[in-house]
Structure 1
Amino acid sequence: MGRGRAKAKQTKVARQLKYSAPNTDFDSLQRELSNGEGQSYTTDTWSDDDSRNSEDEWHRA
C-alpha cells in the first residue's frame, strides 16, 4: 500500500518527458559536428581480443 502517490509521480514525470520539446541549439550542434571532420578515430583499448583470452584463463583457474 502507499504506492499510489509514487506511481502518480512517475506517470507525471514520464508524461512530461514524452511530450516536452527540449530546447536544442542546432547551430552549436552543427559547429560541433563539423569540427570533427578529418579526425581519425582510435579503437578502444579495453575492447581488444586479448581481454577475452584473459577472461578464459580466469574461468579455467
Structure 2
Amino acid sequence: MGRGRAKAKQQKVARELKYNTHFTDLDALQRELGTSDSGGHGIPEDTGARDDECEDWTGTER
C-alpha cells in the first residue's frame, strides 16, 4: 500500500517528457561540457590497442 501516489507521479513525469517539447540550447550545453568544435566530436581515434590487449589476455588472435 502507498505505491499509488508514487506511480502516478512517475506516470505524470513520463507523460510530460514524452509529449512536451523542450528547447535545448546546444551551444550552452557544449560550453558547459567544455568541448571544442574540432570536428572530431570528442571521439578518440581507434589505435587498435584494445584488440592487442584482448589477444594478450585470451591467447588467441582476432
> TM-score when scaled to structure 1?
0.50
> TM-score when scaled to structure 2?
0.49
Work out which structure has the larger RCO, using CA pairs closer than 8 Å and 6 or more positions apart in sequence.
2
- Report the structure, 1 or 2, having the larger helix content: 1
